[in-house]
Amino acid sequence: MPVTEADVVDALRPVQDPELRRSIVDLEMVRTIRVAGSHVDVQIALTVPGCPLKAEISGSVSAAVATLGGIDTVGVDFTVMTDEERETLRLGLHGDPAASAGTNPAHGHAEGRAIPFAEANSSTRVLLIASGKGGVGKSSVTTNLAVALSARGRDVALVDADVWGFSIPRMLGVSRPPTVIDDMLIPPEAHGVRCISMGFFADEDQPVIWRGPMLHKALEQFLTDVYWDEPDYLLVDLPPGTGDISISLAGFLPTAEMYVVTTPQPVAQRVAQRAAFMAEKVHLKVHGVIENMSWFTGDDGTTYELFGAGGGAELAELLEVPLIAQVPFVPSLREGADTGLPVAVDASTEIGAVFAEMARVVDVDLRPTKRRHRELRII
Ligand SMILES: Nc1ncnc2c1ncn2[C@@H]1O[C@H](COP(=O)(O)OP(=O)(O)OP(=O)(O)O)[C@@H](O)[C@H]1O
Ligand SMILES: [Mg+2]
């Protein structure tokens, strides 16, 4: 039986757009199909010109069509969607902001789209990673925990909420900015983690000089204008301290679980305690403490407690939450952060195993026991 156009469409159905994570057939990206004997030509409409994933799409289209019996060669060429087509695509994927506004009066936005993660029945676990002061390793922990959760097969998204001191794109090794489809941002991915950061919109050498309301708006856009597609986890790397951003986020993400990072010395632990008090004020619950830079092991095997000892355990006891991990000080962690290859990608190393275990504790031991349900309403 000769191959028909319908056969080609069926073969292309499992091929997904790598960024939109939907079938290219459903996304109406497959435009023309021409079968001539053992040769097939397929034309694909890219969402945006210069799509960075063009080569990848071309490869998967060719491979899918070549699985059809009797087909020897496949030609793939590209066109680009029109503005109207992009708008239709965005509305199909992301909904109409005007239609969804007001569905969640407490947390939605009057003019825009409601924040999906604010819904009580959202299937996404939101983890806010906080600390009382800067430089304790929050961003390093967030990045590596995200990578380790992804390695467990979870769908993981990461918001870099440190709008002044953004560091996630570099630490995660994301090299390209988000794709923009008709005002919808598609987050780039690295090591299985999709992320958004002010770093994509600001020059690394230029300070971000925004203040309260603009920051609030920017964070809201990180949550609403980005196509997140219901991840299992949304990790948020907070800026150090207990400022405006943390308060805005608490309002946006009322079901979030907060994790506090501290170093082992008593001073740091007292400062970290402030982050926990802030959590309480904004009605968020601290779910665990992570101690970082707990010890350093020299080449001769001697262990040094460079930053004191016991801070994590004391803070955990005070807050009546578990100390979920102690992360040693290892130079490879900093190197990995600087080169965009997080240590958690390799669970066979000692430090990789620490993050794999941290991810297991979060994913298994601290999994909420009750599914969250919308409040029952009797009408
Ligand atoms: N366990 C560790 N071992 C070695 N280096 C580490 C460790 N944790 C963090 N670092 C390094 O310490 C520095 C600060 O870490 P990081 O940027 O993650 O902290 P932060 O709390 O996010 O800081 P900020 O408050 O500036 O956002 C980085 O250079 C990082 O590579
Ligand atoms: Mg940081």
**Domains present along the chain, CATH in parentheses:** 5-81 (3.30.300.130), 116-365 (3.40.50.300)
Helix (H) or strand (E) holding 292: strand 285-292
Q: What is the 3-state secondary structure (H, E, C) of 244-267?
A: HHHHHHHHHCCCCEEEEEECCCHH
Tokens, residue 303:
């262990």
Cβ(340)–Cβ(317) below 8 Å: no
Per-residue model confidence (pLDDT) at position 371: 55
**Cα Dmax for the chain:** 77
Q: Is the CB of 134 under 6 A from ligand 1?
A: yes
Which amino acid type is present at position 346?
D
Among 147, 145, 151, 137, CA closest to 173: 147
Question: pTM for the whole thing?
Answer: 0.90
Per-residue model confidence (pLDDT) at position 246: 81
Average pLDDT per consecutive 10 residues, the chain (379 residues; last block may be shorter) = 93 96 96 96 94 91 95 96 95 74 42 78 93 91 98 98 90 92 93 94 70 80 93 94 79 92 85 82 91 95 92 92 97 96 96 98 91 51
Per-residue model confidence (pLDDT) at position 108: 40
Strand partners, 370: none
How many whole angstroms separate alpha carbon 125 and alpha carbon 288?
A: 14
Which amino acid type is present at position 217?
K
Residue 338 Cα to ligand 2 midpoint, Å, equals 13
Residue 31 Cα to ligand 2 midpoint, Å, equals 45
Helix, strand, or coil (residue 90): helix
How many whole angstroms separate alpha carbon 36 and alpha carbon 294?
A: 66
Per-residue model confidence (pLDDT) at position 107: 39
Helix, strand, or coil (residue 56): helix
How many whole angstroms separate alpha carbon 264 and alpha carbon 312?
A: 6
Residue 236 Cα to ligand 1 midpoint, Å, equals 16
**Best substitution site from 129, 139, 260 to test ligand 1's pocket, by max atoms within 8 Å of Cβ?**
139
How many whole angstroms separate alpha carbon 356 and alpha carbon 129?
A: 17
